[in-house]
């Protein structure tokens, strides 16, 4: 469900280019490429509407905002025989990273004939010589079996690195095209690197592929790994429900990923309609008071004798309010642990009433993010990798590959990082969650 409420001007959607693409794309030389599904998008009118429901020009006569369609172009910017391409993966793990790396490598190698491809080890650290992480050669053999594995083959890291040193390394190593795989932090880093490349007048292309298990990037309908994460989360909820049903006053509490956006929690709730309370960062709730969660839990136990609560890690942060929030190496605020906090409050609440509570607390977070991608996400990463290579080879830069209204598109990085995608508490997704759980407002004041 794409729910974009802010105004997007046509100029916000323009994709920068390194220069005119003059080299005939080797894909055009294959026999009947159109019959093999290669439609070359040389016409700039191949675009996808941002809001499919608005087809009328606005009050100033401007056409509705749209994003450029992804796909092969008849002419490319880089000479494949001379190009050196690099791939880096940053931030935290997410199912599908390895199959995405493999897809980029195979597309560069087999479809475009690029033979010089390197992998950068451990995120942005890999660009900084003092860490001593050497690049690794990537080719069909080195990526042969990585797609079936979870985790990250190249390694990842958090923490800031100097942009000028990163671009020094790109220059020194003659890298012409950089693929960056990462979340919101990585996209900010990508924009700074792109800016530094532009300031130095270098012809280095930069294509980002958004990776975030939280699915919280603007202008990205769904990130890869999300479906796998929801599936893994669903298994944890099923376990919690079985535990809850199997004991008097059984309570299953599951904590899921979702620092600012509760999409994993919301989708897993919809996937397994056994959840009675779904708590996400976007929707405030009270614990105490007549309408608070503790009273609602009492009511549920009286009525049904068991309950399942799902909480996203960023929910209920008001219970930890502090002026001196700790930060991780990348500058992200360390969240209060809402899972163990709720577990302890639930136990104390029922103990105070002298009522037996059989609570099982499940925190599957690291299992959810490091599992191998399911087949849906593997297919998805295949498409993302192919389109990233088409975009990069055409000389487009400073963009990310996105799925939008069921089409693969190019979105300028600044557009994707200007807002964070969140669940709209008044939108259709949250309404479906409320319908599924039947939970009350959990707020004492309306």
* Interacting residue ranges for Mg ion, rule: CB under 5 A: 183-185
Does 185 contact ligand ATP by CB under 6 A? yes
The answer to whether 214 is a known catalytic residue is yes
Q: Which stretch binds ligand ATP (CB under 6 A): 87-95, 106-114, 167-175, 359-367?
A: 87-95
Does 197 contact ligand ATP by CB under 6 A? no
The secondary structure of residue 20, as a DSSP letter, is: -
Write the DSSP assignment of 360-411 as a string of letters: EEE--HHHHHHSPP-HHHHHHHHHHHHHHHHHHHTTB-SEEEEEETTEEEEE
Closest CA to 348 of 307, 288, 301: 288
Question: What minimum distance in Å lies between the beta carbon of 332 and ligand ATP?
Answer: 5
Question: What minimum distance in Å lies between the beta carbon of 330 and ligand ATP?
Answer: 3
Q: Whole-angstrom Cα distance, residue 234 to residue 239?
A: 9
* Residue with tokens 């199997």, as numbered in its chain: 246
Segment (H or E) for 250: strand 250-256
Does 261 contact ligand ATP by CB under 6 A? no
Site size for ligand ATP, by CB under 6 A? Answer: 20
- 252 touches 394 (CB < 8 A): no
- Residue 228 interacts, among ligand ATP, Mg ion, none and using kind-specific CB cut-offs from 5 to 8 Å, with none
Segment (H or E) for 206: strand 205-210
Of 217 and 293, CB closest to ligand ATP: 217
Query: What percent of the residues of the chain are helix, what percent strand, and what percent coil, each to the nearest 5?
Result: 35, 15, 45
The secondary structure of residue 95, as a DSSP letter, is: T
| Residue 184 annotated as part of some ligand binding site | yes
| Residue 258 annotated as part of some ligand binding site | yes
* Residue with tokens 């995120």, as numbered in its chain: 123
* Residue with tokens 């910017």, as numbered in its chain: 77
Of 331 and 428, CB closest to ligand ATP: 331
Does 148 contact ligand ATP by CB under 6 A? no
Question: What minimum distance in Å lies between the beta carbon of 98 and ligand ATP?
Answer: 15
Strands 84-89 and 177-182: parallel
Of 176 and 185, CB closest to Mg ion: 185
| Residue 121 annotated as part of some ligand binding site | no
Does 332 contact ligand ATP by CB under 6 A? yes
Does 370 contact ligand ATP by CB under 6 A? no
Find the binder of ligand ATP among 90, 371, 373, 423 (CB under 6 A). Answer: 90
Question: What minimum distance in Å lies between the beta carbon of 188 and ligand ATP?
Answer: 3
| Residue 180 annotated as part of some ligand binding site | no
Which two tokens mark 301? 């136990």
| Residue 158 annotated as part of some ligand binding site | yes
Q: Which of 214, 216, 286, 363 is catalytic?
A: 214
The secondary structure of residue 158, as a DSSP letter, is: -
Question: What minimum distance in Å lies between the beta carbon of 212 and Mg ion?
Answer: 6
Q: Which stretch binds ligand ATP (CB under 6 A): 35-43, 54-62, 157-165, 431-439?
A: 157-165
Does 412 contact ligand ATP by CB under 6 A? no
* Residue with tokens 């042969």, as numbered in its chain: 144
Helical axes 375-393 vs 226-245, angle rounded to 10°: 160
Does 124 contact ligand ATP by CB under 6 A? yes
Go through 60-86 and write b for each residue having 16 or more CB atoms within 10 A of its CB, e for each that does not.
Answer: eeeebbbbbbbbbbebbbbebeebbbb
Using CB under 6 A as the criterion, which residues of the chain lie in contact with ligand ATP when the complex forms?
90-92, 123-124, 158-161, 182-186, 188-189, 192, 212, 330, 332
Query: Mind telling me the catalytic residues?
Result: 214
- Binding site per annotation, positions: 92, 158-159, 183-186, 212-214, 257-259, 313, 366-369
């Amino acid at each position: 469900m794409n729910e974009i409420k802010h105004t997007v001007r046509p100029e916000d959607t323009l994709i920068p280019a390194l220069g005119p693409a003059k080299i005939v794309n080797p894909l055009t030389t294959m026999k009947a490429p159109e019959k093999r599904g290669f439609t070359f998008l040389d016409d700039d009118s191949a675009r996808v509407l941002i809001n499919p429901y608005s087809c009328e020009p606005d009050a100033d006569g401007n056409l509705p905002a749209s994003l450029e369609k992804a796909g092969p172009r008849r002419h490319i910017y880089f000479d494949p025989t001379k190009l050196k391409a690099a791939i880096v993966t940053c931030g935290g793990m997410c199912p599908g990273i390895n199959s995405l790396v493999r897809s980029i490598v195979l597309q560069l190698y087999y479809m475009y004939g690029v033979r010089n491809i390197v992998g950068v080890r451990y995120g942005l650290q890999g660009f900084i010589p003092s860490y001593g992480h050497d690049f690794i050669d990537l080719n069909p053999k080195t990526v042969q079996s990585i797609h079936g594995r979870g985790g990250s083959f190249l390694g990842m890291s958090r923490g800031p690195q100097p942009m000028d040193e990163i671009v020094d390394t790109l220059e020194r190593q003659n890298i012409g095209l950089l693929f960056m795989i990462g979340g919101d932090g990585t996209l900010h880093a990508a924009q700074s690197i792109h800016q530094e490349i532009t300031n130095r007048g270098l012809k280095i292309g930069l294509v980002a592929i958004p990776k975030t298990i939280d699915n919280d990037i603007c202008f990205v309908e769904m990130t890869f790994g999300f479906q796998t994460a929801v599936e893994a989360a669903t298994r944890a909820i099923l376990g919690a429900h079985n535990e809850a049903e199997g004991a008097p006053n059984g309570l299953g509490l599951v904590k899921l990923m979702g620092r600012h956006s509760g999409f994993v929690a919301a989708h897993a709730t919809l996937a397994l309609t056994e959840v009675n309370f779904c708590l996400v960062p976007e929707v405030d709730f009270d614990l105490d008071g007549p309408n608070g969660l503790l009273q609602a839990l009492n009511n549920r136990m009286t009525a049904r004798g068991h309950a399942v609560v799902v909480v996203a890690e960023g929910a209920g942060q008001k219970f930890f309010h502090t002026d001196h929030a700790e930060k991780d190496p990348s500058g992200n605020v360390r969240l209060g642990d809402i899972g163990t906090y709720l577990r302890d409050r639930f136990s104390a609440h029922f103990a105070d009433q002298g009522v037996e509570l059989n609570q099982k607390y499940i925190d599957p977070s690291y299992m959810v993010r490091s599992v191998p991608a399911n087949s849906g996400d593997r297919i998805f990463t295949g498409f993302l990798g192919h389109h990233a290579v088409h975009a990069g080879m055409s000389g487009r830069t400073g963009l990310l590959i996105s799925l939008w209204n069921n089409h693969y598109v190019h979105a300028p990085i600044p557009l994707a990082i200007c807002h964070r995608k969140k669940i709209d508490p008044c939108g259709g997704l949250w309404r479906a969650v409320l319908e599924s759980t039947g939970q009350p407002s959990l707020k004492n004041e309306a």
